[in-house]
Chains A and B, each alone.
Chain A
């Protein structure tokens, strides 16, 4: 009887021990099976409607909204982001060149901050990959805010209210990264949804006027859509200004900012190359082009046709296309009108 017990006991023991190790190994292996299936199906549509990202941290975004209008982010508390990216002027400032600290003028036209999170790179020459990197630009630029992060953090820390806000939202003290985090979260929320054209794309055919629909057709057939396309109708590629004719020569002389992307890469083929701007809310963001040289949208379209398409468009077509561009003006981002939510937990 004892012998039998031992005969059974031995293999069971060994099996049990091995089984334990085996189980440990397997259980950890099973966690990561290749379940994520790649999505191969792309929509071939050139333009897609905008959507506000769903995974926003609203409290951070609200804090970002505060900071965006906070002049303490500049030297001598002179300007805020809002000074050059006004929500009333389509996220831009309506000037050819922005006025920074001490009244200094910028060298490029300020683009809109609306939908800028959807741009594939930041700035006219695309020198920053994303919004996180972008913010350093205006903060340090002596023609914009001309300050340092240490200064900003120090100033904000002196404000009891700010300290409390950061504490509540980040559960930590004020720091450069947290300021940037909040600003980026806010900018990511700055999406101008439900423009008439987006509604049209979503199936509401009454959203556009006849002229606008014709304008859209012409926008497509003339080939504006080859450069201004994607969700942001622009902002997903680089292109040289003056494909067909020399824009700069005809404008009269070269400026510092005209080199474009060459500054970033040092490659000759990147000379005069700019990020194709988004045409969303373009109606509101005059003057146009990187040099802010064109106050009229209609003329901007005409110039585009000449320099980028190498074509002369009939007046009627320009009018239609301009009308169409006006249909790209979306609603003001919700985050701007929403009541300041109590951030208290």
Chain B
């Protein structure tokens, strides 16, 4: 379904060219091309036949004195010879000069020349014979009133007969009769006539024989046979070619049919393609709408999951703190327990002073525990619903630390808090910022806790006022982050912690939170230690 791919295109072109060549080849082999030449050849051969026929006819007409002039004969012979010459030299008739036909053509021309020579001789004999035959009756008539009348008359009839039927008997008869006639006559005129009689009778007898043989030879000449041979051989050859041509013709028709079919199929495919296109066009808007809807759904889902994620991140942070919290609560509780036990043990002998001191301590510790729990509650509340308020930085930091200060102690990490002014306030949802700080602190602690490379482990929180913003930074003893990590730091799910330990969401969510609060958050590259900074509106 991708016919315009360039590879397909070249294949397509090659196939087309091949088809065109194949068609050309078949066409050239089909009989179509040489029909002109064929008809010319046949025409010329036919003309030769006609000329030969005319020639024969004219020879017969000569014999019966129907033809007086030899001009038509000359013309017939000349025509036939020139046709022969043409067959021999004209390029049109090349197919007559192939291996099989050339000997026949040569034969034909040879016989034709022989026939032409025979005709020349025939003309000669005929003219002489004609004159003598015309003269003989005059001579015979001269003797009609003499004693030689009978002999001359029978001589004349025998000669006439001999002219048609050349039998030996007749010749003998004629010579017998001639012998009967006197050699010499006294009358000069008679003598002349007698000489003429002998002369012309002899001429007629001689020329009759030659003329008759010539006539026979001419009329039985194999010219026509040779010509027929040539024609047949040529027609045979042509038939073979024609048959081949016809089969190629069929192939041609077949191929044409196939091509036609092919074109139709292509048409059909094109049609269905266009139909598809139409359908596609019609469906497109619907689909687009659907997709848009799907997309927006996905988006909202994504947003949902983002909230879920934020929540889960919170919960993770919470979980992480759980140990710390337990510790946080456990320590005061055991302190309460210790004071309560002491009061219980010394209930009889305890001074009021001691009792007051211990209960004061218990109250103080309970207050602290309740404070911790309050912080926890505040932290776990969904921040989205929370309202922004102006809060002291000190409070946020204290609240955050309530949750985790024990952890630092257990890992012997020094925590330093340095606020430029104790009355610094920020406009924010305090739980959010606590969460951000908690994230920073967790990251720092993680980076510091298990390493031996850094002996002096510290974390410092610093807050200062910059114009109308408050800058809070968390710096730890680390030596800064490599640039490759810096670039991806804020990306969601980017983490270097082993699987199951970190989600990689901490910083990205923090950034989101800070920016939501109208502030900014960044990693401070210029600091030689690892330092994260947030700026919030004052």
Is residue A335 within 8 Å, beta carbon to beta carbon, of the partner chain?
A: no
Q: How far is the CA of A41 from the CA of B420 in the complex (A)?
A: 144
Interface segment, B103-111, B196-204, B468-476? B196-204
Contact A310 B200 (CB under 8 A): yes
Residues from chain A with Cβ under 8 Å of B135 in the complex: 223, 309-311
Contacting residue for B36 out of A9, A17, A29, A236, CB 8 A: A29
Contact A237 B58 (CB under 8 A): no
Contact A31 B36 (CB under 8 A): yes
Is residue B123 within 8 Å, beta carbon to beta carbon, of the partner chain?
A: yes
B122 nearest in chain A by CB position: A237
- B448 vs chain A, min Cβ distance (A): 78
Contact B256 A42 (CB under 8 A): no
Q: How far is the CA of A95 from the CA of B65 in the complex (A)?
A: 39
Q: How far is the CA of A45 from the CA of B168 in the complex (A)?
A: 37
Residues from chain A with Cβ under 8 Å of B267 in the complex: 6, 9
Is residue B74 within 8 Å, beta carbon to beta carbon, of the partner chain?
A: yes
Interface segment, A69-77, A168-176, A239-247, A316-324? A239-247
Contacts A25-B35, A230-B74 given; does A239 touch B46 at CB 8 Å: no
- A235 vs chain B, min Cβ distance (A): 9
Interface segment, B124-132, B149-157, B228-236, B284-292? B124-132
Contacts A21-B252, A244-B199 given; does A48 touch B71 at CB 8 Å: yes
Is residue B520 within 8 Å, beta carbon to beta carbon, of the partner chain?
A: no
Number of interface residues of A (CB under 8 A): 51
Contacting residue for A269 out of B70, B121, B126, CB 8 A: B121
A230 nearest in chain B by CB position: B71
Contact B69 A48 (CB under 8 A): yes
Interface residues of B in 249-266 (CB under 8 A from A): 249, 252-253, 256-257, 259-261, 263-264
Contact B123 A237 (CB under 8 A): yes
Contact A240 B271 (CB under 8 A): no
Is residue A34 within 8 Å, beta carbon to beta carbon, of the partner chain?
A: yes
Contacts A14-B256, A269-B121 given; does A46 touch B268 at CB 8 Å: no
Residues from chain A with Cβ under 8 Å of B69 in the complex: 43-48, 229-230, 236
Contact B260 A13 (CB under 8 A): yes
Contact A237 B70 (CB under 8 A): yes
Question: Which DSSP category, helix, strand, loop or mixed, fits chain B's interface?
Answer: helix
Contacts A6-B268, A21-B27, A310-B132 given; does A120 touch B74 at CB 8 Å: yes
Contact string, A287-315, partner B, CB cutoff 8 A, digits 1/0?
A: 00000000000000000000001111000
- A301 vs chain B, min Cβ distance (A): 15
Contact A238 B68 (CB under 8 A): no
Q: How far is the CA of A46 from the CA of B126 in the complex (A)?
A: 15
Is residue A273 within 8 Å, beta carbon to beta carbon, of the partner chain?
A: yes
Contact string, B36-66, partner A, CB cutoff 8 A, digits 1/0?
A: 1001100100110010001000100100001
Residues from chain B with Cβ under 8 Å of A311 in the complex: 135, 196
Contact B120 A237 (CB under 8 A): yes
Is residue A231 within 8 Å, beta carbon to beta carbon, of the partner chain?
A: yes
Contact A29 B35 (CB under 8 A): yes
Residues from chain B with Cβ under 8 Å of A229 in the complex: 68-71
A10 nearest in chain B by CB position: B264
Contact A231 B123 (CB under 8 A): no
Contacts A2-B271, A10-B264 given; does A236 touch B127 at CB 8 Å: no
Is residue B497 within 8 Å, beta carbon to beta carbon, of the partner chain?
A: no
Contact B260 A14 (CB under 8 A): yes
Is residue A24 within 8 Å, beta carbon to beta carbon, of the partner chain?
A: yes
Contacts A309-B135, A310-B132 given; does A32 touch B39 at CB 8 Å: yes
Q: How far is the CA of A310 from the CA of B261 in the complex (A)?
A: 88
A47 nearest in chain B by CB position: B69
Contacts A17-B256, A46-B68, A236-B70 given; does A34 touch B46 at CB 8 Å: yes
Q: How far is the CA of A47 from the CA of B124 in the complex (A)?
A: 18
Contact B127 A226 (CB under 8 A): yes
Residues from chain A with Cβ under 8 Å of B32 in the complex: 21, 24-25, 28
13 contacts between A and B (CB under 8 A): A10-B260, A10-B264, A25-B31, A28-B32, A29-B36, A32-B36, A46-B69, A221-B134, A225-B68, A227-B127, A273-B124, A310-B132, A312-B192
Using a CB–CB cutoff of 8 Å, the interface residues on chain A facing chain B are 2, 6, 9-10, 13-14, 17-18, 21, 24-25, 28-29, 31-34, 36, 38, 40, 42-48, 120, 221-223, 225-227, 229-231, 236-240, 243-244, 265, 269, 273, 309-312
